[in-house]
Structure 1
């Protein structure tokens, strides 16, 4: 009797050290599993490239920097796809919407605005980016309206959208590539000039560390205020050190990747800088697309966890009928959710077309599959009601690591598709097992 009472009073009684550690730190076990899988993927590519291919390795500052930039476009859309899947819907059209928005922005900044404002006008990139966001938002809202008010299943609406908007992109562009984009607009795609440099990266890193510490301190104060159980102090310190360590480590990696020698020479000549005999080291730092992804991730996390809108999303995903009976306008919520995903797709189109420095009708092909896979790998349940924004971003990083690493070590294109498809099926299978175990 006394033993049973002791175990109920102390939930850690009889638990192993790993279980006690996870319970004390409250680390998401799914996120921990994804981190372990990502490390295995990186180490596998790294060791294979060194010992089999004789290359410098996968884990180099250059590869990590490029990987972060390539993840940005998929990651931005994945944060919105989480909301759609949580509410038991799906969107198969985001890749085509991205391509259509890119073509519209290309036409605006190459053919229309230079004639009106003049070539190189500073407002060209602003108007172009806003136009892309509006077009994406309107398309998403239209899809949401057909799903919510007309009653057509989301699978059919967005499958039709996949074909319609891809065809519309080719019709508008007449099958041509629209280039070159505005020089300032191109900076949002990354590159040596589309990054913030070493000093800016350290500032961002220190601000991020301050934010992590503030979250831990304010979270502890809120728990004390409402009488919730506190984490042990050692767990708070561990989380702070871990979070700040990862941030500062990322800063060191992006700052270790220098500008190419040719660009450094041209930059030095344009700014009357004398290049020393050993060369001039100029760090890339964080790329602008990565900062955009981080900003979107923070805002979407706040939206999902700190607002009424986010609570409504999870309520609809948990039980749509109960949510409607509770007074939630589920139809209007569906329109807003798809409009938000459309807006994020427009933003992703800005990043993707800027990185390519052109707009083509094929831009974003198959992106819808990678976005859905990123959300699912990140722990978003296709059954609805479960999902996190940070998980989707992590899932996008896993997917992009596979897409980047396999060509790096010489895997055939056909086998690449087999691996990506298998990973997606495995992620859904693990989600099913996780939900069965949690019941």
Structure 2
């Protein structure tokens, strides 16, 4: 049998297998490759199945993938916060109910309260409504964190109680009625033809994204030189930069390939005095605002987790809470801040979810706690604590939403969808256990 690694003079193991050498040179996480591969299989599988059964594949189309990105935004935003909660060995079962409660309160504020003060259509209405929803979510999260950290009540019990309480409070506020329609500007935060930045804006954002990718690769190489760390081969850094730029440009081409519906184009042309050509007028959606919000949250949270004292404290608490406390970290106050951040992101997710539906209903967010936890775990966050990434959670949310969307397209009923989602969650935890056992 041939060994897959040899030992260099410095004592570092050097892989001899081509695939292992590639991974070692590029330092790409094998979990990331696994998730991307699983996502590709899901997309191709649903598309091929639709082509065989219906005569055409509906999954790998600009329209479906654009809508998929918008649908992923709400769960993805909350998954970014759930990563921190799970890393520190806690759980939050209340996020779905809290999302519904925040959405209802924002609906009441912008439909029943603020119009009486400012008048209909005032530009401050959507701002105050969104801020109130995020503030409410933060307050509830801080309250949960206080009960967990300072009163010693297990997070499972506190958030399970929150799951029931906030759903019930939301029902009492509206007596089960749906609040609709919401403020026109507020509804743009949920996407749609007017809730996107268009082709030009998307290309500008794409070019900025490519510049950021290249800048990060160059900066990483400079930092390695500065601190005398081993350098990656030049081809490895070039490969990562090229793949990153290709992914960004591919995303831009995809969202720009999805055109506005003809009816909306015709109405838009009439309102703005535009002559529609004989072949029709093609107006691209571009990136949807909810997707940009998710992207911003992901980048900010990644920076916080990797470059700040707060992020290092989160990983330290998850690795060993007792050692973190002895090292001077105020673990109780950190717990309050983590749950407060989770509440803030839940409030932000409520903004996106209610704006997308242009309504607030007590059923909004049902079972979202399952999807958020599953997204974090599928993305590589370990339930034993100490391990997890923001980007992995977002990718996990995309996997979960891809499964749901694909099952809807091929005609699976709600019961079968829940069976699949539950099974995937259990499978993800099992794979996490196997991965950790191999890493020991």
Which TM bucket (shorter chain)? Answer: over 0.9
1:15 to partner: Cα distance: 2.0
Instruction: Indicate the residue corresponding to 2:153 in structure 1.
Output: 152
Instruction: Indicate the residue corresponding to 2:286 in structure 1.
Output: 285
Structure 2 gaps, min length 5: none
1:9 to partner: Cα distance: 4.1
Structure 1 gaps, min length 5: none
Instruction: Indicate the residue corresponding to 2:36 in structure 1.
Output: 35
Instruction: Indicate the residue corresponding to 1:135 in structure 2.
Output: 136
Instruction: Indicate the residue corresponding to 1:341 in structure 2.
Output: 342
Counterpart Cα distance in 1 of 2:280 and 2:314: 54
Counterpart Cα distance in 1 of 2:6 and 2:301: 43
Instruction: Indicate the residue corresponding to 1:231 in structure 2.
Output: 232
The verdict on how the C-alpha distance between 1:14 and 1:140 changes in structure 2, with shifts beyond 3 A counting, is closer
1:413 to partner: Cα distance: 2.3
Instruction: Indicate the residue corresponding to 2:438 in structure 1.
Output: 437
Instruction: Indicate the residue corresponding to 1:401 in structure 2.
Output: 402
- Preserved CA contact (<8 Å) 2:87 2:314: yes
- Corresponding residue pairs, total: 436
- Preserved CA contact (<8 Å) 2:107 2:179: yes
Q: The residue matched to 2:424 in structure 1 has which SS? A: helix
1:14 to partner: Cα distance: 5.3
Instruction: Indicate the residue corresponding to 1:426 in structure 2.
Output: 427
Tell me the alpha carbon deviations over residues 260-281 of structure 1, each in whole angstroms, 9 at most, x when there is no partner.
0000000000000000110000
Tell me the alpha carbon deviations over residues 201-256 of structure 1, each in whole angstroms, 9 at most, x when there is no partner.
00111001000000001111111000001110001110010000001001000000
1:55 to partner: Cα distance: 2.8
- Preserved CA contact (<8 Å) 2:58 2:409: no
Counterpart Cα distance in 2 of 1:62 and 1:130: 31
Counterpart Cα distance in 2 of 1:235 and 1:357: 46
Matched, 1:105 2:106: yes
**RMSD of aligned alpha carbons:** 1.2
1:54 to partner: Cα distance: 1.6
Instruction: Indicate the residue corresponding to 2:389 in structure 1.
Output: 388
Instruction: Indicate the residue corresponding to 1:374 in structure 2.
Output: 375
- Preserved CA contact (<8 Å) 1:12 1:20: no
Counterpart Cα distance in 2 of 1:411 and 1:107: 35
Matched, 1:74 2:75: yes
Counterpart Cα distance in 1 of 2:324 and 2:274: 64
1:77 to partner: Cα distance: 0.1
Tell me the alpha carbon deviations over residues 397-434 of structure 1, each in whole angstroms, 9 at most, x when there is no partner.
00000000011011232221111111110000000001
- Preserved CA contact (<8 Å) 2:106 2:129: yes
Q: The residue matched to 2:173 in structure 1 has which SS? A: helix
The verdict on how the C-alpha distance between 1:6 and 1:38 changes in structure 2, with shifts beyond 3 A counting, is closer
